[in-house]
Amino acid sequence: MKFAVLVFPASNCDIDMFKAVEDTVGEPVEYVWHTATDLTPYDVILVPGGFSYGDYLRCGAIAQFAPVMAELHKAVESGKFVLGVCNGFQILTEAGLLPGALIRNNRLKFRCHPVDLVVENNRTAFTNGYCQGETIRIPIAHGEGNYYCDEQTLERLKTNNQIVFRYQGDNPNGSVENIAGVSNERGNVVGMMPHPERAVSELLGSADGVRMFTSVLNAWREKNGAAIGR
C-alpha cells in the first residue's frame, strides 16, 4: 500500500500528513507536487491543508485547475481512496469531487482549537475503525470552514448517508446542520475541516485521529483481499 500527499504552492500541512502516515500505519508515503500527471502508483491520496495558491479568488478555486487534479479525478473514478483536510476539503468541493462549498466562518474569525465531533457514518474508507455515534476530539484551524449546500443537496447527503462528521456542542463556523465532514456517494472520498493528522498522539492532546489512517489501511486490505491486522 502506498500513500501520496499532494503539495500545492502554500500547502502547509503536508509535513503533518506525511508524518501521520509514518507514525500511524508505517506504510510508504511520498510527497507529490501539484504538477504531477500520474497518480497510478498510489492507493491513497491525501490532500492536506494550507493556503493553496494564497487562497486567491477563494479557497481551492485555483488549485482545482492544477495538472494533478485531472489525475485525482481518474483515481476517484477507479475507486482509490482520497482524504481532503481543511484546504484539501475546500479543493475537493471546488473540483466537484465532493458536494457543497466552504465559505467564511459565520463570525468572520479564524478558529484554531480542539473540537468534539460525532461520527455520523462509520462505513467510509476512512471511518470504519470508529463506532457509529462515537464522539472524538480533533483540532480545527480555519477561517473558511462554514460548510454550505442547498436544501436538495442536504437531503441527498442525508438519504445517501454522506454526512461523515458533525460538530458536537459549539458549532465553530456556522456550517449547515453542524456538518464537519462529508463523503461522496461511493464512500471512497472524504473531506473534513478538522485535522486528524494533528491528533495522532496523546502528547498532541488527542490520538483520536489515528483511526482515520488505520481505517483506510483496513479498507485497502479488504478491497485487495489481504488479511486485516498487522
- What pLDDT, in 10s, does the model give residues 198-224? 999 999 899 999 999 999 999 999 998
pLDDT > 50? residue 230 = no
Q: pLDDT at position 228, please?
A: 45
Residue 86 bears catalytic tag: yes
pLDDT > 70? residue 61 = yes
Residue 195 bears catalytic tag: yes
- What pLDDT, in 10s, does the model give residues 3-47? 999 999 999 999 999 999 999 999 999 999 999 999 999 999 999
pTM of the model: 0.95
pLDDT > 60? residue 174 = yes
Residue 206 CA to residue 74 CA, distance in Å, equals 34
Torsion-angle region of residue 97: left (phi > 0), alpha (psi -120 to 50) or beta?
Answer: alpha
Catalytic site residue from 86, 120, 144, 149 = 86
**Sign of the CA dihedral running 25, 29, 35, 39:** negative
pLDDT band at 225 (very low <50, low <70, confident <90, very high): confident
Q: pLDDT at position 226, please?
A: 67
pLDDT > 90? residue 194 = yes
Domains and CATH numbers, the chain: 3-223 (3.40.50.880)
Catalytic site residue from 94, 120, 149, 195 = 195
Q: pLDDT at position 56, please?
A: 84
Q: pLDDT at position 108, please?
A: 87
Catalytic site residue from 71, 94, 144, 197 = 197
Residue 197 bears catalytic tag: yes
| Half-sphere exposure for 169 (CA within 13 Å, toward CB) | 7
Beta strands in the chain (DSSP E): 3-7, 29-33, 44-47, 81-85, 101-103, 111-119, 135-142, 146-148, 163-167, 179-183, 189-192
- What pLDDT, in 10s, does the model give residues 28-39? 999 999 999 999
| Mean pLDDT, rounded, of the chain | 95
C-alpha cell belonging to residue 229 = 491486522
